[in-house]
Amino acid sequence: MTSREVTKDEMGKYPGFVITTVAQDGIAIVVNPANEIQYITLDQVKGIYLSNITKWTQITGANVPGTNNQIVIIGRDSASGTRTYFDQTVLASATPTNKMLEKNSNGAVLQTVAQTPGSIGYVSIGFVSKDIKVLPIWYNSQKIIAPTTENVKTKPYPISRDLYVITNGQPSGLTGDFIKYILSPDGQKIVADEGYVTLS
Amino acid sequence: MIKFMKKMNDVLGASQGTARVSFVKEQAIKTVFFFTAFFAVIVVSFILLFLLRDGYVILEKAGVLAFLFGVSWAPNAVVPLYGILPLIVGTLLVTIGAMVFAVPLSIGCAIYISELASPRVKQQLKPAVELLAGIPSIVYGFFGLIVLTNFIRVTFYLPTGETWLAASVLLGIMALPTIISVSEDAISSVPCEYKEGSLAIGATRWQTISRVLVPAALSGIAAAIILGIGRAIGETMAVLMVAGNAAIIPDPIWNILSPIRTLTATLGIEMGEVAVGSDHYSALFGVAVVLLIITLIINLSAVAILRRLTEGRGHATSGKHLVSRNTRETLVRIAKITGVLILIGFFFLAAPFWLADLILLTALAVYIGRNWLSPNRVQTIAFAFVIAAALIVIAILAIILQDIVLNGLPALSWEFLTQPPRDLGRAGGIFPAIVGTLCLVMGAIAIALPLGVGAAIYLVEYTREGRITRFIRTGVDLLNGTPSIVFGLFGFAFIVLYLGIGVSMLAGQVTLALMVLPTVIRTTEESLKNIPQSLREGSLALGATRWQMISRVVLPPAVPGIVTGAILSIGRAAGETAPIMFTAVVFSSRFLPDSVFQPVMALPYHLFILATNVPGASTNKYGTALVLLLLVVGFYSIAITVRNHFHRKVRGYHV
């Protein structure tokens, strides 16, 4: 199972790959609940991850009481599919600042953001919890889009992607049954229960 | 008498006929033992070979220099960059920091235990320190993540507590027990006459300790520090959880409050998801090669330093030196002054101003005032520092243990111990993880014990010290110094992929077995060497063959020592995360595995995932930490009890 697309190189190497989309996912921008910020623009996110913006005071509405407002940037390790997708989509394929703290899972990002007041991170919407604050994306005063399952499904939320399972050859036997189950109403109900976005 | 002669003749007559057979048998046994001994060397070369096989692609593509000295590690950039200089620098800085923290504390504590403590305190403190060496690194990491980083963030008013400082302090704490027990042994084994002589000519106790005992124990203390360095440099899980993992060289380089990333942490976080066969994959193996080479260099130089130190003591008077005495003294003075200046600079740049001033003024006052201080007053001050060191060590360990025990106890229940996990481990129990860990360590010891005991028998019983034994010993030493994450990578590349066994219990067992092999060899060797030579000579003189002598006379009394080694190895294997992370474990499984070809759950990995990946699992992660701690410390205390019992018996014979 993967959250990043198979590269052309990999497709060339393993021509037998069959890719099945099983769910949709949005990537939520999250900060510590102590931060007074309410929403953020994609440009600001990009600025933060490229280290052009280093203080929360540079962003209107943001303030972390009791700290010097230094932004602590949390990201994923370079083997992560979420990171690859985030770098491509939000950073326009630029490399994030090397001051970024790297974590090797959504949960680890969440944990760090939850216990670090000045931090910002990104996680799958399936991981969103009350320990952190989710930031809607601000376009203009009429268009502020939160990473809800609804907004991911109907596509106005900009940072969303598909989740795939990959098999070598057409899935058959137990593997095939399992994939059929994920795609069935019962399977899709689990997708929804875990906070991800169903296909239909 | 005649009857006895007759009997002897019968025996001799009978053995004449079977002489050839038994000769062949003896040779066969010897060959088998030779191969078990040589196994360590084979494993080391295999590890290097397999890491190079996968790592060399990147060295070829990126170039060795660009790989080693590139300052950017960005494997998924549009133009991927694989420069590992920040990682190498990070590894070295973290290790140096850990030693700066741990060495003064542990030597102080060792002096306290061996020279100042009353016999009763000593009797309790020594095994306690040894037990602490058994706390699994993942438990330290867990504590560091939850408590230490937060403490550092608040204390130093930082944006984040995940820093070089956190990593160094944590590694320093982890290295404490090792350095303390080895240097305490070294100080205690300085001959009594030295101490008595020194006290008799009117030296104070502190003068005796600082001028006689510590210098005499220097080689042992050096060995202790090197062991500590080895432990710090190869540590993965604890560092990964607290260092922040930003691949940067601290700016300025002494900025101890900067996040940092080590070679081991890079492997730990990126190996899990990397696409097998990609450049990135190859680069990670390149990282492992560099890590392995750094540890090999440290280990080999440690062996060399120790040899010099022991030899140097023998020829102290006749020794010829490269430079004359005067030049040497000047050099030492220059080195000392530079050292002090660097230290002062460091304080001013890293610490807050008032603290730096305070430290500097104290140091200055001591320097100026030292001539006016009487030896007794010096002793009082020195002892105060030594006792403070011991108290700090005890306090640190008490804080860690009470945090885990107090928070973990509420989670413990019959259900927790006997149920499978539910809701990503937030609810339910850890039964499959307990069973999985037990299966892994039992399998590992079943593999390591025969090989290790065989190797030790070959080294002690079948050979004289020579080129072959030195070669094999070096192999064992190198294997012992290999970081656990490197075993994990090797297990993944060789057992899981190359042999096609897949992520399975078996792969984890073999990987863990390789990791604990040196411990088994060492402890078995020790216990064989403790068997008096006269027993062997007596047995051979009565006409026993070498194998009869070994199996009937030497091995039986050595069994307690071997058992101790085995239990220590089990304890160590049970607490390790890095070697099984890519070879044997799954995070959640409702069923127990029904063959060795299936993956299992394991306690350390379960704790790692709960601590870093599953928010809101607070009770269960403390519970898991406590169960793991109890399990490992339990194994260690059994081992220590068996050993002490055995030691007392042996000493009873000799003294």
Q: How many residues does chain B have?
A: 655
Nearest Cα of chain B lies from the Cα of A145 at a distance, in angstroms, of: 25
A81 part of a folded domain: yes
Task: Report ipTM (2 d.p.).
Answer: 0.85
pLDDT recorded at residue B653: 45
For the record, the structure tokens of B584 come out as 């044997």
Range of the domain at A97: 26-161
As a whole number, mean pLDDT of residues A153-167 equals 89
Q: How far is CA A194 from the centre of its chain?
A: 15
Nearest Cα of chain B lies from the Cα of A199 at a distance, in angstroms, of: 23
Q: Three-state SS for A17?
A: strand
Look-up of token digits 């260690």: B636
- Asked if A103 is an interface residue toward chain B (Cβ–Cβ < 8 A), one would say yes
For the record, the structure tokens of A200 come out as 């239909």
pLDDT recorded at residue B473: 85
Q: How confident is the model at residue B318 (pLDDT cuts 50, 70, 90)?
A: very low
Q: b/e string for B257-286 if b means 16 or more Cβ within 10 A?
A: bbbbbbbbbbbbbbbebbbeebbbbbbbbb
Q: How confident is the model at residue B254 (pLDDT cuts 50, 70, 90)?
A: confident
Q: Is the pLDDT of residue A78 over 90?
A: no
As a whole number, mean pLDDT of residues B77-91 equals 90
Q: Show which of B361, B395, B411 is a domain's final residue.
A: B411
For the record, the structure tokens of B626 come out as 């406590």
Nearest to B526 by CA among B549, B553, B563, B558: B558
Residue to substitute from B240, B255, B612, interface A, most A β-carbons within 10 A: B612
User: Total structural domains in chain B?
Assistant: 2
A34/A118 Cα distance (integer angstroms)? 8
Q: Is the pLDDT of residue A140 over 60?
A: yes
CB contact at 8 A, B503 and B584:
yes
A180 part of a folded domain: no
pLDDT recorded at residue B197: 92
B212 part of a folded domain: yes
- Asked if B86 is an interface residue toward chain A (Cβ–Cβ < 8 A), one would say yes
B175/A4 Cα distance (integer angstroms)? 40
Q: Is the pLDDT of residue B309 over 80?
A: no
- One domain, residues B507 and B604: yes
Q: Do A131 and B616 touch (CB under 8 A)?
A: yes
Which residues make beta-bridge pairs with A102? A75
For residue range B327-364, what is the model confidence (pLDDT) as tens digits?
777 878 888 888 777 777 766 665 566 677 777 788 78
Q: How far is CA B164 from CA B154, B171, B251, B446, in A?
A: 16, 10, 12, 39
As a whole number, mean pLDDT of residues B218-244 equals 87
B128/B130 Cα distance (integer angstroms)? 5
Q: Which residue of A has its CA nearest to B72?
A: A98
Q: How confident is the model at residue B523 (pLDDT cuts 50, 70, 90)?
A: confident
Nearest Cα of chain B lies from the Cα of A142 at a distance, in angstroms, of: 34
- One domain, residues B517 and B616: yes
Question: For chains A and B, what is the number of CB pairs under 8 angstroms?
Answer: 104
The amino acid occupying position A51 is S
- One domain, residues B482 and B612: yes
pLDDT recorded at residue B652: 45
The two beta strands, A17-31 and A160-168, are: antiparallel
Residues of A in contact with B612 (CB under 8 A): 103-105, 107-108, 111
- Asked if B200 is an interface residue toward chain A (Cβ–Cβ < 8 A), one would say no
B298 part of a folded domain: no
A17 part of a folded domain: no
User: Total structural domains in chain A?
Assistant: 1
B394 part of a folded domain: yes
Residues of B in contact with A80 (CB under 8 A): 273
B282 part of a folded domain: no
At residue B456, what are phi and psi to the nearest 5 degrees?
A: -65, -40
A13 part of a folded domain: no
Q: How many CB atoms lie within 10 A of CB B17?
A: 9
Q: Do B159 and A101 touch (CB under 8 A)?
A: no
For residue range A14-61, what is the model confidence (pLDDT) as tens digits?
888 888 899 999 999 999 999 999 999 999 999 999 999 999 999 988
As a whole number, mean pLDDT of residues B619-624 equals 89
For residue range B503-515, what is the model confidence (pLDDT) as tens digits?
899 999 999 999 9
B313/B309 Cα distance (integer angstroms)? 6
- One domain, residues B387 and B472: no
- One domain, residues B537 and B406: no
B624/B618 Cα distance (integer angstroms)? 10
As a whole number, mean pLDDT of residues A126-147 equals 90
Nearest to A10 among B245, B275, B613 (CB): B275
Q: Show which of B411, B429, B464 is a domain's final residue.
A: B411
Q: Show which of B390, B411, B432 is a domain's final residue.
A: B411
As a whole number, mean pLDDT of residues B602-619 equals 84
Range of the domain at B148: 84-260+373-411
As a whole number, mean pLDDT of residues B597-609 equals 90
- One domain, residues B469 and B593: yes
Nearest to B263 by CA among B140, B85, B141, B137: B85
- Give the helix ranges, DSSP H, for A36-80: 42-49
- One domain, residues B135 and B249: yes
Q: How confident is the model at residue A100 (pLDDT cuts 50, 70, 90)?
A: very high
For residue range B255-298, what is the model confidence (pLDDT) as tens digits?
888 999 999 999 998 888 888 888 899 999 999 999 999 988 88
Q: Which residue of A has its CA nearest to B73?
A: A98
For residue range B159-174, what is the model confidence (pLDDT) as tens digits?
888 999 999 999 999 9
For the record, the structure tokens of B407 come out as 């928070």
As a whole number, mean pLDDT of residues B576-592 equals 84
Largest CA distance in chain A: 58
pLDDT recorded at residue B87: 94
- One domain, residues B387 and B518: no
Mean pLDDT of chain B, nearest integer: 85
- One domain, residues B101 and B202: yes
- Asked if B248 is an interface residue toward chain A (Cβ–Cβ < 8 A), one would say yes
pLDDT recorded at residue B317: 43
- One domain, residues B377 and B462: no
B361 part of a folded domain: no
B465 part of a folded domain: yes
The CATH code of the domain that includes B510 is: 1.10.3720.10
- One domain, residues B169 and B194: yes
Torsion sign (Cα): B637, B553, B517, B606: negative
A100 part of a folded domain: yes
pLDDT recorded at residue B313: 54
CB proximity under 8 Å: B 596-625 to A: 609, 611-616
For the record, the structure tokens of A166 come out as 């990959």
Q: Do B246 and A99 touch (CB under 8 A)?
A: yes
pLDDT recorded at residue B427: 83
Q: Three-state SS for A139?
A: strand
The amino acid occupying position A160 is S
pLDDT recorded at residue B623: 92
B63/B68 Cα distance (integer angstroms)? 9
The CATH code of the domain that includes A149 is: 3.40.190.10
The two beta strands, A119-124 and A72-76, are: parallel
- Minimum mean pLDDT range among B26-35, B105-114, B373-382: B373-382
B549 part of a folded domain: yes
Q: Is the pLDDT of residue A142 over 80?
A: yes
Q: How many CB atoms lie within 10 A of CB A99?
A: 17
A185 part of a folded domain: no
